[in-house]
Chains A and B, each alone.
Chain A
Amino acid sequence: MAVNIRKLPRKKYVMPGNAACPGCPETMGFRYLGMALGEKAVVVIPAGCSSVIQGLWPRQGWGLPVLNIVFAAGAAAASGLARALRRRGVDAQVVVWAGDGGTADIGLQALSAAAERGEDIIYICVDNEAYMNTGIQRSGLTPYGAWTTTTHRGKSEFKKPLPQIVAAHRVPYVATASVGYPWDFIAKLRKAASIRGFKYIHLHAPCPVGWRFDPGLTAKIAQLAVETGMWILYEYENGRLRLNPPSNRLVDPSKRKPIEEYIKLQGRFRHLKPEDIEKLRQEVEMNWREITAMLKLQEELERQEKA
């Protein structure tokens, strides 16, 4: 599974002069997508920053074939496209590249249905935790307490546990990833491409514009999310859960950095009161408890099966 970043293709899949903001995590992620899948990928992009980053026709900022599609239809359009290419005997990997809104909110119905049908596609949620394209409004994946232009006092609900929701569809592959860990993301993409059926990768993507941080810090903040335990890297392969290296050792809470390190760099959390931070910490604990409980149960069951 190890990926040597120096041995990756140098071909550019994100063109210079595209319309992304400086420090944009979506362009980082897309570059890794190209490195991982290369010429095999055909990408379906529902409305969101990634539809705009391409820039104005006749120019094209993404170096892969892109079928742009309406906001709610990413997984459905990809289903049709994948079926057509397979019927024609074309060797391709259809990928949906959708924002958190296009995935967790308006596109969830089509996503769930495509997962249930077992469509042979990779669905990637580029999770920048808000609707950025329309100007930083809350989404179902905006974390608790975060300021957005529709949660001026901070969001009062938790983040929707989307990877678990997709995993509950019993698809062959679900993984979380982060733009701060390119080799991990690339390896996961390659693994996903080797599996037939519905694959889901949830890519954590800190957005300097929406989260209010210095554009030079995107990768660092992405890494801090993992190091503080606020974003956990794991995979479900055929229903089997496994933590991945950057998160492995963080099962032990003492190995995690304090969440304040992550929060303090972001303007969207500036207004948080100590009790809000406490609540966020509780959410982190809850997530870890869930993961470790599942891992334990899994081990126990496997032991019993062997016995």
Chain B
Amino acid sequence: MPVLTSMRGNDAIAYAVKLARVEVVAAYPITPQTIVVEKIDELIARGEMDADMIHVESEHSALAAAYGAAAGGARAFTATSSHGLAYMYEMLWWTAASRIPLVMAIITRALGPPWNIHVEHADIMSTRDTGWLIAMAENNQEALDLALMMFRVTEDPRVYLPGIVGLDGFILSHTVEPLELPDQETVDEFLPPRRQPYVMEPGEPKAMGNLVPDEYFEELRMDMHQSLSRARQVIMEAGRDYGKLTGRSYESLVECYRCSDADVVIAGIGSWMGDAKIAADVLREKGIRAGVLRLRWVRPFPWEEVRESAIGKKLVVVLDRSVSFGHAGPLFLEISSALEARPSMVGVLAGVGGVDISYEDIARIVEHVYSMAEERGRVYIPAYWYHLGKFHPMPPYEPAFLVPQELPKGE
């Protein structure tokens, strides 16, 4: 029987790891991820979970140890945030291109300086090019469910790549929410025993990760690319099966809230999409037909779903919680690249470094951008920064910014 309970997002991840029967966990503490490691250690200490916990000295080693364990045939897990993830960067590549399935949770947090422990998506977005699957939860229930799904998807022979489950620092990680904890039998039925492309065994001379001729290297990269595309199908199957077992289906790589008849689509990832849904309701009361497109998966990129949800719309507003400096928000760039029949598009940067964004802020943003689009006929603004109630156009996309309003006064 599933248990109706309530817990913090980080605990939800820890329970998913336990239910997935993970055998080796290697992790290093960093706020706001720390609870994950602590909780897993506690579960092991209480005898509720049978796993090796490797208390490594750094995140570089955390992923290396998890990788070693996974290469040795064990289901492995790690979790990190922000600087921890940056420190792991080299191993992200090594793991993915080794085709070693393992799962990592990223509790999103800003990178310094200045030090800031609050939410920002710069960390998770920086992993996009490394070959990992990336999912992003809206709430604690989804964090748990996606983590369980991630084990199954990454260990599917059509995929064989590692996967990241993201959840927003503090907003989810430290917030208690009600959720349903599936029972072990259900998870066992959903998640088959570990499969992987090879296992390091004594007496079987083989090499993993040695030099290859360039042509093979490129072929391997092509294969990773194709596997990530194939993962789409695997995710849909897993999401459907999960739905059959738990009543919560994750068949689609995106969630569309009141999208079908909308004129304006608010697109984004993570917990603030919950607020965006309220904002859409508020906007509809004001006569603006708004909907929300939430990407549950960033890799594979739900290209078809994004395109479909934008067809015939007047405006797509993409909310980004991080910046690709000198250009725009990374999610804006991803989404805009998927849209052929271009509606008006505005990329709004907001909430960076944990700055609070309420549903009222989101409604205000959309209202402002919508009226601008109506006025001008069509707009395409990749980067428009909303900060403490004010809009800050960013060059070169808004001419207002090209001519400084006021010249700085020299000495």
Q: Which of B23, B69, B212, B213 is close to A81, meaning CB atoms less than 8 Å apart? A: B69
A113 to B55, CA, bound (A): 9
Tell me the nearest residue of chain A to B75, going by C-beta: A84
The answer on a CB contact under 8 Å between A60 and B206 is yes
Kindly specify which of A40-48, A180-188, A225-233, A278-286 makes contact with the partner chain. Answer: A40-48
Is A83 on the interface with B (CB-CB < 8 A)?
yes
Tell me the nearest residue of chain B to A110, going by C-beta: B61
A63-107 contacts to B (CB < 8 Å) = 63-70, 72-73, 75-85, 87-88, 90-93
A139 to B62, CA, bound (A): 25
The answer on a CB contact under 8 Å between B208 and A87 is no
Q: Which of B24, B60, B70, B201 is close to A110, meaning CB atoms less than 8 Å apart? A: B60
Set of chain A residues within 8 Å of B64, measured between Cβ atoms = 69-70, 72-73, 76-77, 80, 110
Set of chain B residues within 8 Å of A93, measured between Cβ atoms = 202
Set of chain A residues within 8 Å of B146, measured between Cβ atoms = none
The answer on a CB contact under 8 Å between B203 and A67 is no
A57 to B209, CA, bound (A): 9
Tell me the nearest residue of chain B to A54, going by C-beta: B210
A82 to B68, CA, bound (A): 8
Set of chain B residues within 8 Å of A39, measured between Cβ atoms = 202-203
The answer on a CB contact under 8 Å between B205 and A60 is yes
Is A51 on the interface with B (CB-CB < 8 A)?
yes
The answer on a CB contact under 8 Å between B73 and A83 is no
The answer to whether A70 and B207 touch (CB under 8 A), given A57-B216, A81-B72, is no
A251 to B57, CA, bound (A): 39
Set of chain A residues within 8 Å of B206, measured between Cβ atoms = 60, 65-66
The answer to whether A87 and B23 touch (CB under 8 A), given A56-B211, A67-B68, A67-B209, is yes
Is A30 on the interface with B (CB-CB < 8 A)?
no
Tell me the nearest residue of chain A to B216, going by C-beta: A57
Tell me the nearest residue of chain A to B76, going by C-beta: A80
The answer on a CB contact under 8 Å between A88 and B72 is yes
The answer on a CB contact under 8 Å between B56 and A113 is yes
Set of chain A residues within 8 Å of B76, measured between Cβ atoms = 80, 84
A44 to B200, CA, bound (A): 10
- Within the complex, the shortest CB–CB distance from B290 to chain A, in Å, comes to 46
The answer on a CB contact under 8 Å between A68 and B67 is no
The answer on a CB contact under 8 Å between B73 and A88 is yes
The answer on a CB contact under 8 Å between B91 and A84 is no
Set of chain B residues within 8 Å of A270, measured between Cβ atoms = none
Tell me the nearest residue of chain B to A93, going by C-beta: B202
Place the interface of chain A in its size category. 35 or more
Is A298 on the interface with B (CB-CB < 8 A)?
no
Q: Which of A52, A66, A77 has the most CB of B within 10 A?
A: A77
The answer on a CB contact under 8 Å between B207 and A60 is yes
Tell me the nearest residue of chain A to B203, going by C-beta: A39
Is A236 on the interface with B (CB-CB < 8 A)?
no
Q: Which of B68, B71, B201 has the most CB of A within 10 A?
A: B68
The answer to whether A81 and B54 touch (CB under 8 A), given A44-B68, A55-B211, A88-B72, is no
Is B74 on the interface with A (CB-CB < 8 A)?
yes
The answer on a CB contact under 8 Å between B61 and A62 is no
Q: Which of A51, A87, A109, A112 has the most CB of B within 10 A?
A: A87
B10-42 contacts to A (CB < 8 Å) = 23-24, 26
Set of chain A residues within 8 Å of B57, measured between Cβ atoms = 109-110, 112-113
Set of chain A residues within 8 Å of B223, measured between Cβ atoms = none
- Within the complex, the shortest CB–CB distance from A94 to chain B, in Å, comes to 8
Is B65 on the interface with A (CB-CB < 8 A)?
yes
The answer to whether A57 and B69 touch (CB under 8 A), given A62-B207, A80-B54, is no
A70 to B62, CA, bound (A): 13
Interface string of B277-295 (1 = CB under 8 A from A): 0000000000000000000
- Within the complex, the shortest CB–CB distance from A170 to chain B, in Å, comes to 17
The answer on a CB contact under 8 Å between B91 and A68 is no
Q: Which of A44, A75, A84, A117 is close to B74, meaning CB atoms less than 8 Å apart? A: A84
A70 to B71, CA, bound (A): 14
The answer on a CB contact under 8 Å between A90 and B212 is no
A136-185 contacts to B (CB < 8 Å) = none
Tell me the nearest residue of chain A to B50, going by C-beta: A87
Is B58 on the interface with A (CB-CB < 8 A)?
yes
- Within the complex, the shortest CB–CB distance from A166 to chain B, in Å, comes to 15
Set of chain A residues within 8 Å of B133, measured between Cβ atoms = none
A63 to B204, CA, bound (A): 9
Tell me the nearest residue of chain A to B74, going by C-beta: A84
Is B90 on the interface with A (CB-CB < 8 A)?
yes
A69 to B72, CA, bound (A): 14
The answer on a CB contact under 8 Å between A83 and B52 is yes
A63 to B205, CA, bound (A): 6
- Within the complex, the shortest CB–CB distance from A106 to chain B, in Å, comes to 10
The answer on a CB contact under 8 Å between A79 and B54 is yes
A192-241 contacts to B (CB < 8 Å) = none
The answer on a CB contact under 8 Å between A51 and B23 is no
Set of chain A residues within 8 Å of B204, measured between Cβ atoms = 65
A231-259 contacts to B (CB < 8 Å) = none
The answer on a CB contact under 8 Å between B61 and A113 is yes
Tell me the nearest residue of chain A to B212, going by C-beta: A57
The answer on a CB contact under 8 Å between A84 and B207 is no
The answer on a CB contact under 8 Å between A67 and B213 is no
The answer on a CB contact under 8 Å between A66 and B208 is yes
Is B66 on the interface with A (CB-CB < 8 A)?
yes
Is B303 on the interface with A (CB-CB < 8 A)?
no
Q: Which of A40, A62, A68, A80 is close to B26, meaning CB atoms less than 8 Å apart? A: A80
Is B359 on the interface with A (CB-CB < 8 A)?
no
Set of chain B residues within 8 Å of A62, measured between Cβ atoms = 205, 207
A60 to B235, CA, bound (A): 36
The answer to whether A84 and B209 touch (CB under 8 A), given A76-B61, A77-B65, A79-B68, is no
Set of chain A residues within 8 Å of B397, measured between Cβ atoms = none
The answer on a CB contact under 8 Å between A91 and B24 is no
Set of chain A residues within 8 Å of B380, measured between Cβ atoms = none
A77 to B84, CA, bound (A): 17
Is B190 on the interface with A (CB-CB < 8 A)?
no
The answer on a CB contact under 8 Å between B213 and A56 is yes
Q: A91-B202, A113-B56 are in contact. List 13 more A-B contacts (CB 8 A).
A: A42-B201, A51-B211, A68-B209, A79-B61, A79-B65, A80-B64, A80-B74, A87-B52, A88-B73, A92-B202, A110-B56, A113-B57, A113-B61
8 CB-based A-B contacts, threshold 8 Å: A60-B206, A60-B210, A68-B207, A69-B209, A78-B68, A80-B66, A84-B70, A93-B202
